[in-house]
């Protein structure tokens, strides 16, 4: 019994130990497997989270796979928002701080009635239809002039000169002889009278000759129109031929105002438009008239078309050759409303017009280049014909900075339509250091193109705001020139241009061809002499 009892206790203890071991093994292995898997998943998730892209707040083109310092400015890198990785790969991303530093401002494209206030410069001219020449109808010698001063007023029928004419003496004798046989030969008498009429003798003068029966040695010339003598062509004692001009007479009761309009202004001008203008000689008074004529041909030397306004000259206030400044308030010549954008939003690259459009719904502001088609130019804005939709947001200030950032990242930009990959450094999606330094130097020098965009300044002769507009237009006509600014006081022009498309000599030559001397080329005398009087700068 004791032996059996001992064995039972021994087996019971062994069984309990085995069971306890199995239980402990199950507990360890049952919990350690899932825990380890869970820990491994946590480590994997942590490693994935650590694969954050780091960028610089001031230089968003910097891309690194770990935190550190910006290789450009030395600032601490910040994590790039994961949602921004889904932005169009052709877009350029900028942080809020970078946008503030670059003074980037945006504008929401909207429709409106396009209008423009056009400023025109011109001169007063006589009405050509009221200009007449007072000529002599018989040859002879000027015995006496009754109009001796240019600018004198004459009236129709006024005695203006007296001429001695041997031919007239002979014709009078023929008339008197024809009278003696007028009963037999009336045709001869009529022919003698008609000859005197052709020499502009009046019927009253002919009757006086017939009545007196005496030959008159001098012939009186009477004014055939009223007006102002603008030129005296003879002096007393001069011998003149038949048809010689004695005086030029202008009727100034109605005058013309001729204004110079540039090509960019022509889409806004039309017949019948109201023009308000002032004259320097009559301060405080505004004159009005309607456009009656627009020159169908552009002057090849000045690149302008003349616009004519007709008006009555009450009291002869306006005098020929007076300078006048006109204003035309014009609405969009096309019906309906048009998309308009500020001029500062547009970058020019020869035939292309470029804007940067903001991509909506991104945590970090992003912009993408877009080519658009422009219509007529207004004072500070353009009409957009194609390429933008109402409600889209575009960059209007700091556009060059956005474009420079796009060029640095190899994205489509002003000078690189398709974009391109730039050489990279390990851990960074940015240009290699030597190329980056070159790019940054170009940007700091004011060149928006990383390779070819340049700035130049040189002297150009001129006098007034009209000269400024002509000079800048001429410079911009050269392909590759993006912006120009001529200072009236310093006589210097600042030019931004692409030296792959244009060179300074071409720009100098274009300005000289418009009539303005530069430091390298002199305008031809023919072109210079055709400039408006206020623009003549040579002594």
| Residue 58 belongs to a domain | no
> pLDDT category, 325, cuts 50, 70, 90?
very high
Is pLDDT larger for residue 105 or for residue 437? 105
* Residue 359 DSSP SS3: coil
Q: Are residues 239 and 188 in the same domain?
A: yes
Model pLDDT, residue 291:
94
Q: Which residues of 35-67 are buried (b: 16+ CB within 10 A; e: fewer)?
A: eeeeeeeeeeeeeeeeebbbbbbbbbbbbbeee
In a domain, 509, yes or no: yes
Residue 69: strand pairing partners: 76
CB 484 within 8 A of CB 475: yes
Phi, psi torsion values for 475, nearest 5 degrees: -65, -40
pLDDT band (50, 70, 90) for residue 308: very high
- Other beta carbons less than 10 A from residue 395's beta carbon: 26
State whether 101 and 163 are in the same domain.
Answer: no
Phi/psi of residue 59, nearest 5 degrees? -130, 80
Q: Name the pTM for this structure.
A: 0.51
How many domains is the chain built from?
A: 5
- Cβ(277)–Cβ(257) under 8 Å? yes
What 3-state class would DSSP assign to 301?
coil
Q: Are 369 and 426 contained in the same domain?
A: yes
Q: Is residue 214 part of a domain?
A: yes
Higher pLDDT, 19 or 516: 516
- Residue 43 makes CB contacts below 8 A (sequence gap 6+) with none
Report, as an integer, the average pLDDT of 119-123: 92
- H/E run at residue 229: strand 227-232
Q: Give the Cα separation of 144 and 308 in Å (integer).
A: 40
pLDDT tens-place string over residues 218-238: 888 888 888 899 898 899 889
Q: Which of 411, 444, 477 is the last residue of a domain?
A: 444
The two structure tokens encoding residue 285: 């008074």
Mean confidence (pLDDT) of the chain: 79
Q: What angle do CA 497, 499, 500 make, to 5 degrees?
A: 125
Q: Kindly indicate the confidence band of residue 151, based on its pLDDT and cuts at 50, 70 and 90.
A: confident
If DSSP codes are grouped into helix, strand and coil, which group holds residue 156?
coil
Residue 106: inside a domain, yes or no?
A: yes
Whether residues 176 and 310 fall in one domain: no
Cα 530 to chain centroid, rounded:
22
Last residue of a domain, one of 224, 250, 276: 250
Question: Which helix H or strand E contains 493, and what residues bound it?
Answer: strand 492-498
- In this structure, are 140 and 238 located in the same domain? yes
Residues 139 and 239 in one domain: yes
* pLDDT over 70 (residue 11): no
Examine the fold and report which residue of 312, 331, 350 is the final residue of a domain before the chain moves on.
331
284 shares its domain with 374: no
CATH code assigned at 484: 3.30.70.100
Domain CATH code at residue 355: 2.40.420.20
Same domain, 389 and 321: no
pLDDT of residue 48: 46
Encode pLDDT of 248-297 as tens digits: 999 998 999 999 998 888 888 989 999 999 998 899 899 999 999 999 99
Q: Which residues pair with 342 in a beta bridge?
A: 381
Q: What is the CATH number of the domain that holds 193?
A: 2.40.50.100
User: What string of DSSP letters covers 231-274?
Assistant: EE---TT-EE-TT-EEEEEE-TTEEEEEEEEEGGGGGG--TT-E
Domain that holds residue 1: 1-50
Neighbours of 356 (CB within 10 A): 27
Give the span between the Cα atoms of 410 and 92, in whole angstroms.
10
Whether 70 is covered by a domain: the verdict is no
Query: Is the pLDDT at 50 greater than 50, yes or no?
Result: no
Same domain for 208 and 341, yes or no, is no
In the predicted model, is pLDDT for residue 339 greater than 60? yes
- The rounded distance, in Å, linking the Cα atoms of 273 and 281 is 25
In percent, how much of the chain has pLDDT > 70?
80
| Coil, helix or strand at residue 393 | strand
Q: Is residue 60 part of a domain?
A: no
Residues with Cβ within 8 Å of residue 320, at least 6 apart in sequence = 123, 124, 125, 126, 230, 250, 252, 255
Q: What is the pLDDT of residue 60?
A: 66
Could you count the other beta carbons within 10 Å of the beta carbon of residue 279? Answer: 18
Same domain assignment for residues 256 and 270: yes
pLDDT number for residue 201:
78
How far apart CA 256 and CA 215 sit, in angstroms, is 47
440: DSSP letter: H
Q: Residue 483: how many CB atoms within 10 A of its CB?
A: 16
Q: What is the pLDDT of residue 333?
A: 55
Question: Sign of the C-alpha dihedral, residues 107, 109, 114, 119?
Answer: positive
The pLDDT score that the predictor gives to residue 419 is 63
* Separation of alpha carbons 107 and 109, rounded Å: 6
Q: What is the pLDDT of residue 336?
A: 56
Ranking 63-67, 349-353, 524-528 by mean pLDDT, the lowest is 349-353
Residue 43 lies in a domain: yes
Check residue 114 and give its pLDDT. 76
Asked if 11 and 30 sit in the same domain, the reply is yes
pLDDT score of 318? 92
Q: Where are the beta strands (DSSP E) in 66-167?
A: 78-79, 92-93, 105-108, 110-112, 115-126, 131-135, 140-145, 153-154, 159-164
Q: What is the pLDDT of residue 86?
A: 55
The CATH number of whichever domain residue 259 belongs to comes to: 2.40.30.170
User: Is 195 found in the same domain as 237?
Assistant: yes
Q: Is residue 77 part of a domain?
A: no
459-489 pLDDT, tens per residue?
999 988 889 989 999 998 888 888 888 988 8
Q: Measured between alpha carbons, how far is 162 from 222 in angstroms, rounded to an integer? A: 9
């Amino acid at each position: 019994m004791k032996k059996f009892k001992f064995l039972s206790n021994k087996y019971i203890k062994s069984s309990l130990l085995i069971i306890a071991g199995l239980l402990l093994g199950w507990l360890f292995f049952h919990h350690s497997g899932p825990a380890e898997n869970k820990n491994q998943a946590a480590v994997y998730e942590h490693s994935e989270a650590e694969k954050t892209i780091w960028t610089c707040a001031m230089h968003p083109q910097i891309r690194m796979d770990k935190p550190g310092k910006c290789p450009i400015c030395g600032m601490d890198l910040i994590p790039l928002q994961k949602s921004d990785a889904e932005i169009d790969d052709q877009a350029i991303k900028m942080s809020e701080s970078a946008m503030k530093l670059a003074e980037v401002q945006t504008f929401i494209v909207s429709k409106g009635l396009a209008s423009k206030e056009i400023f025109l410069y011109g001169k007063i001219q006589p009405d050509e239809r009221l200009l007449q020449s007072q000529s002599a109808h018989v040859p002879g010698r000027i015995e006496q002039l009754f109009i001796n001063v240019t600018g004198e007023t004459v009236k129709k029928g006024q005695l203006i000169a007296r001429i001695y004419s041997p031919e007239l003496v002979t014709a009078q004798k023929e008339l008197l002889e024809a009278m003696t046989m007028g009963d037999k030969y009336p045709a001869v008498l009529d022919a003698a009278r008609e000859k005197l009429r052709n020499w502009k003798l009046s019927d009253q003068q002919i009757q006086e000759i017939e009545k007196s029966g005496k030959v008159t040695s001098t012939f009186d010339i009477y004014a055939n129109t009223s007006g102002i003598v603008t030129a005296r062509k003879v002096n007393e004692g001069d011998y003149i031929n038949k048809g010689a001009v004695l005086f030029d007479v202008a009727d100034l009761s109605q005058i013309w105002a001729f204004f110079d309009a540039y090509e960019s202004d022509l889409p806004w001008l039309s017949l019948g438009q109201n023009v308000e203008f002032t004259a320097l000689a009559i301060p405080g008074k505004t004159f009005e008239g309607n456009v009656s004529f627009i020159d169908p041909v552009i002057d090849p030397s000045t690149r302008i078309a003349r616009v004519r306004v007709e008006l009555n000259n009450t009291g002869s206030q306006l005098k020929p050759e007076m300078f006048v400044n006109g204003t035309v308030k014009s609405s969009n010549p096309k019906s309906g409303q048009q998309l308009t954008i500020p001029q500062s939003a547009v970058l020019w690259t020869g035939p292309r017009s470029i804007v940067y459009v903001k991509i909506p719904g991104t945590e970090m502001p992003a912009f993408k280049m877009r080519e658009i088609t422009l219509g007529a130019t207004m004072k500070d804005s353009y009409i957009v014909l194609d390429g933008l939709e109402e409600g889209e947001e575009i960059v209007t200030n700091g556009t060059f900075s956005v474009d420079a950032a796009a060029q640095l990242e190899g994205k489509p930009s002003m000078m690189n339509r398709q974009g391109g990959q730039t050489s990279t450094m390990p851990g960074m999606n940015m240009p290699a250091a030597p190329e980056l330094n070159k790019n940054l130097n170009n940007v700091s020098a004011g060149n928006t193109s990383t390779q070819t965009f340049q700035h130049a300044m040189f002297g150009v002769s001129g006098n007034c705001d009209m000269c400024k507009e002509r000079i800048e237009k001429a410079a911009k006509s050269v392909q590759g020139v993006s912006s120009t600014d001529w200072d009236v006081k310093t006589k210097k022009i600042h030019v931004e241009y692409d030296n792959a498309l244009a060179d300074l000599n071409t720009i100098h030559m274009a300005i000289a061809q418009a009539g303005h001397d530069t430091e390298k080329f002199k305008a031809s005398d023919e072109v210079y002499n055709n400039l408006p009087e206020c623009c003549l700068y040579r002594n």
